[in-house]
A and B are shown apart, each in its own frame.
Chain A
Amino acid sequence: MAERKKVEIPENVKVKVSEGEEYDFPVDISPMHEGERIRKGEMYVELAGPKQPGFELVMALPEDQVEDMKVTIVGKDLDELEEGKAHPFAMIYYVAGEKIDTDLEPIIERRNHDFQNYIEGVMHLNQRYDVWIRVGKKAVEKGLKSLATIAKAVMLLFKNEMPFIEKIEAVYATDREFVEKTLKEVAMPIYEERDARVESLHDEDVEEFYSCTLCQSFAPSDVCIISPDRPSLCGAITWFDGRAAARVDPEGPNKAVPKGEIIDPIGGEYSGVNEFAKNESGGVTERIKLHSFLEYPHPSCGCFEVIGFYMPEVDGIGWIHRGYPEPAPNGLTFSTMAGQTGGGKQVVGFLGIGISYFRSKKFIQADGGWYRVVWMPKELKQKVLQYIPEDMRDKIATEEDAKTMEELKEFLKRVDHPVVKGVVRPVDGKKITEGWLEEKEEETEEEVEEEKVEQQPTQPMEFMQLSQLQPQSLQPVIKLTIKNATIKIDKIIVKKKE
């Protein structure tokens, strides 16, 4: 882990220190000012931004190292900077509190954007090393002359709105050498560490998942669960995004979902998730297994980037992405399958996911993960190739290898795909499928199904049979309810659309 310690203040640079709280601000401070643009003509100075180096950084430190409400300015202060120009700029905050650890740093840091924007005449854009600040002429005329005033206002807001911050100290800098050096040596390693943590965080490392109900407007029973190992199916929201949103607006579309008891560690079933899903879906969804394909799969609202489909003929799973127009080897196109799977339902045999779920270490692990995957369009396969275990890369067919079920069977046999002789799922080494027993195909398949559901002898959900879904015999896609109507019709002609 990158070391957290106070940055060294250089000796040959002008330094100004301001201690203690300040309440008398020359400009108004309120959320009303968020979103206000300071135009070039109205700008006193620009800090950081596209033309100058800069960054913002929050560091968690032990309580005894943080001097509450102290501001150190390294380099020229606001009223000494050349007007109309852009200058280097760094904002560093040291925070301490009983509940504060390095995990909270990015969440605190995110609010710097909001709080800076609360200040009348200060515009703050972007984040991390891309920050871009403008201070308006009017604000300076009103008496905003020192960066310490901005820092003090922001620190007060931090303490008010995030009461778990017990102590906060700031270093603001305009000295180019200091900004560049600290960005490179202190800030960058911390950002990199945070990004690496995004990759390495797993479901078992956290206490809460997050929900998303943004799509309930058109899929009323839909509820998405977002965990570190399962980003949202629309590809938009990661666990970190969910956490940030839930902290900012706990009653908004992303809510914290306590995990509760773990029911099935391999399938990814949690009592807290089940409870939440039951409530939010109005009872439509009672159980969810986050990393299972064939049992209590995650419901799909219709926004998924990719849809997975089980093919009983080969006892394997295929994936098709939005934008691939041809039918998959099961004869169905993306939109046909999407129409069946969407609407917030759990349809066993189909699963909507976001492309980023292919990266997950728990990718459909209950059903064998990548070792159960038999087909995907070339474009999609290329995109996720690096996440496919090396020994499977040549065993997953694309449209170049197989367009029909027959061709797919041929291909899988030729490359000796695990589904042919039986899949051993890597997560616990258990053999979960029997493989193809060609002599008595039909019955064996039934047996395989039954063995797989041993943990749950009764499967309360409909198992969408492939036969129900043949393109020729599509299920009706609309439901027509007519109430209190008098209808007179002379003739109705129903024709198949050519």
Chain B
Amino acid sequence: MIAILIAVTGKGGTGKTLVSAMLVLHLCKKGSLLAVDADPDSNLPEAFGVEVERTLGDIREIFQSSRDEIKGDKEIWFEAKIFEVVKELDNFDLLVMGRPEGEGCYCYTNNILRAILKKFMRHYDFVVVDCEAGLEHFSRKTIAGVNYLIVVSDTSRKGLRTAERISELMEELNINARKGLIGNKVIDKRSENLIREFAENSGFKFLGSLPYDEKVVECEMMGKSVVDLMKTNCSFVREFEKIVKNLESWVVLCQS
């Protein structure tokens, strides 16, 4: 069993990728970690300053279209290719799910994929998944066993409404995870309170809020990675440390 699988989600542009990347850099000091980029348009690798040539989606499509020409055992072939696309970074591994499915029947393909990912992911202490609000990989059950779902919201109505929708979706999909909420790009106390209130009223654990920070924008513009951002020790980075502490005590509480 994976000890802790955290899915980070929320409305587009709220800072999911940034929060995921920061979480990864913090948690990988505490144990083995797999970072998963499950947003088809996302750029988690970029946040770490690395490039990924091939994604799991590419492999899945090759498998889907040429599976009846694969010699020997298909499952073993598929598994080996997935191992090849997992990128080993200094302190953690990175898997990019990549493009969405094409047309046709993926029953067989996804069934194998599910089994492979399950066997593979259970060996990590932490898995952090950066995903879009539709939670596609969870609805297809290609990624199973999420136990913490963290919604990142800015102070907009839309961001909070997305959090509600995700809550409903989780119920529909029968995802049995604890729900946490992080406010991001917060500019004043009032909007922080707004988010906190929303969280408390909607069954989310409020994990804290992160300020809007020019340093983040600057790093992004200069093409610097989150690793570089961490080094600046700007207010965003300092506040994030508090969130990690909150997250830790929440997890300890939940696991006991």
Q: Do A and B bind each other?
A: yes
Say whether B108 contacts A132, CB under 8 Å.
no
Report, as a range, how many residues of chain A touch the other chain: 35 or more
A303: which B residues are within 8 A, CB to CB?
A: 104-105, 107
Say whether B80 contacts A130, CB under 8 Å.
yes
Say whether B108 contacts A35, CB under 8 Å.
no
B86: which A residues are within 8 A, CB to CB?
A: 37
Chain A 211-226 per-residue mask, 1 if CB under 8 angstroms from chain B, else 0: 0001101000000000
B77: which A residues are within 8 A, CB to CB?
A: 126-127
Q: Which of B68, B109, B111, B120 contacts A355 (CB 8 A)?
A: B68
Give the residue name and chain of the A residue nearest to B120 (CB). Answer: A35
A113: which B residues are within 8 A, CB to CB?
A: 73, 76
Complex interface residues of chain B between 70 and 104 (CB less than 8 A to chain A): 71-74, 76-77, 79-80, 83, 86, 88, 93, 103-104
Say whether A214 contacts B123, CB under 8 Å.
no
Interface residues of A (CB under 8 A from B): 34-37, 39-41, 106, 110, 113, 125-128, 130, 132, 191, 195, 214-215, 217, 231-232, 234-238, 241, 244, 253, 302-305, 322-323, 354-356
| Other A-B pairs beyond A191-B71, A235-B68, A355-B68, 11, CB < 8 Å | A35-B121, A35-B122, A125-B80, A125-B83, A127-B76, A127-B80, A215-B107, A241-B74, A305-B104, A322-B104, A356-B68
Say whether B105 contacts A234, CB under 8 Å.
yes
A117 to chain B, nearest CB (A): 9
Known: A214-B111, A234-B105. A37 touches B120 (CB 8 A): yes
A355: which B residues are within 8 A, CB to CB?
A: 68
Give the residue name and chain of the A residue nearest to B90 (CB). Answer: A41
Known: A39-B88, A215-B105, A236-B68. A253 touches B111 (CB 8 A): yes
B137 at the interface (CB under 8 A from A): no
A36: which B residues are within 8 A, CB to CB?
A: 123
Q: Which of B68, B79, B80, B120 contacts A354 (CB 8 A)?
A: B68
Instruction: For the complex, give the distance between the alpha carbons of A365 and B168 in Å.
Output: 52
Give the residue name and chain of the B residue nearest to A128 (CB). Answer: B72
B29 at the interface (CB under 8 A from A): no
A-B contact pairs, 30 of them (CB 8 A): A35-B119, A35-B120, A35-B122, A35-B123, A36-B123, A37-B83, A37-B86, A37-B93, A37-B123, A110-B76, A113-B73, A125-B76, A125-B79, A126-B76, A126-B79, A126-B80, A127-B73, A195-B71, A214-B107, A214-B108, A215-B105, A234-B105, A234-B107, A235-B67, A236-B107, A241-B74, A253-B111, A303-B104, A303-B105, A322-B104
B116 at the interface (CB under 8 A from A): yes
B104: which A residues are within 8 A, CB to CB?
A: 303, 305, 322
A323: which B residues are within 8 A, CB to CB?
A: 103
Give the residue name and chain of the A residue nearest to B66 (CB). Answer: A235
Q: Which of A35, A237, A302 contacts B116 (CB 8 A)?
A: A35
B122: which A residues are within 8 A, CB to CB?
A: 35
Say whether A322 contacts B73, CB under 8 Å.
no
A38 to chain B, nearest CB (A): 10
For the residues of A in contact with B, the DSSP-based class is: loop
Instruction: For the complex, give the distance between the alpha carbons of A125 and B78 in Å.
Output: 10
A225 to chain B, nearest CB (A): 15
Q: How many A-B residue pairs have CB under 8 A?
A: 83
Max chain B C-beta neighbours (<10 A), residue from A127, A132, A232: A127
Say whether B108 contacts A234, CB under 8 Å.
yes
Say whether B120 contacts A322, CB under 8 Å.
no
Instruction: For the complex, give the distance between the alpha carbons of A322 and B104 in Å.
Output: 7
B93: which A residues are within 8 A, CB to CB?
A: 37, 39
Give the residue name and chain of the B residue nearest to A356 (CB). Answer: B68
Instruction: For the complex, give the distance between the alpha carbons of A232 and B109 in Å.
Output: 13
On chain B, the number of residues with a Cβ less than 8 Å from chain A's Cβ atoms is 28
B116: which A residues are within 8 A, CB to CB?
A: 35
Known: A125-B80, A303-B105. A34 touches B119 (CB 8 A): yes
Instruction: For the complex, give the distance between the alpha carbons of A127 and B120 in Å.
Output: 18
Instruction: For the complex, give the distance between the alpha carbons of A41 and B32 in Å.
Output: 13
Instruction: For the complex, give the distance between the alpha carbons of A305 and B107 in Å.
Output: 13
Instruction: For the complex, give the distance between the alpha carbons of A39 and B120 in Å.
Output: 13
Chain B 96-138 per-residue mask, 1 if CB under 8 angstroms from chain A, else 0: 0000000111011101000010111111000000000000000
A191: which B residues are within 8 A, CB to CB?
A: 71-72
A128 to chain B, nearest CB (A): 5
B68: which A residues are within 8 A, CB to CB?
A: 231, 235-236, 238, 354-356
Q: Which of A39, A234, A253, A322 contacts B103 (CB 8 A)?
A: A322
B167 to chain A, nearest CB (A): 25
B123: which A residues are within 8 A, CB to CB?
A: 35-37
Give the residue name and chain of the A residue nearest to B108 (CB). Answer: A236
Instruction: For the complex, give the distance between the alpha carbons of A479 and B93 in Å.
Output: 48
B108: which A residues are within 8 A, CB to CB?
A: 214, 232, 234, 236-237
Give the residue name and chain of the B residue nearest to A198 (CB). Answer: B71
B230 to chain A, nearest CB (A): 22
Instruction: For the complex, give the distance between the alpha carbons of A40 and B87 in Å.
Output: 11
B120: which A residues are within 8 A, CB to CB?
A: 35, 37
A34: which B residues are within 8 A, CB to CB?
A: 119
B121: which A residues are within 8 A, CB to CB?
A: 35
Give the residue name and chain of the A residue nearest to B119 (CB). Answer: A35
**Closest CB pairs A-B (n = 10):** A303-B105, A35-B119, A236-B108, A126-B80, A35-B120, A125-B80, A356-B68, A234-B105, A36-B123, A127-B76
A273 to chain B, nearest CB (A): 21
B79: which A residues are within 8 A, CB to CB?
A: 125-126
Instruction: For the complex, give the distance between the alpha carbons of A237 and B86 in Å.
Output: 26
B148 to chain A, nearest CB (A): 22
Q: Which of A125, A127, A302 contacts B105 (CB 8 A)?
A: A302
Give the residue name and chain of the A residue nearest to B76 (CB). Answer: A127
Give the residue name and chain of the B residue nearest to A192 (CB). Answer: B71
Q: Which of A35, A37, A106, A125 contacts B72 (CB 8 A)?
A: A106
Instruction: For the complex, give the distance between the alpha carbons of A125 and B120 in Å.
Output: 12
Instruction: For the complex, give the distance between the alpha carbons of A446 and B128 in Å.
Output: 65
Instruction: For the complex, give the distance between the alpha carbons of A484 and B84 in Å.
Output: 55
A211 to chain B, nearest CB (A): 14
B65 to chain A, nearest CB (A): 9
A128: which B residues are within 8 A, CB to CB?
A: 71-72
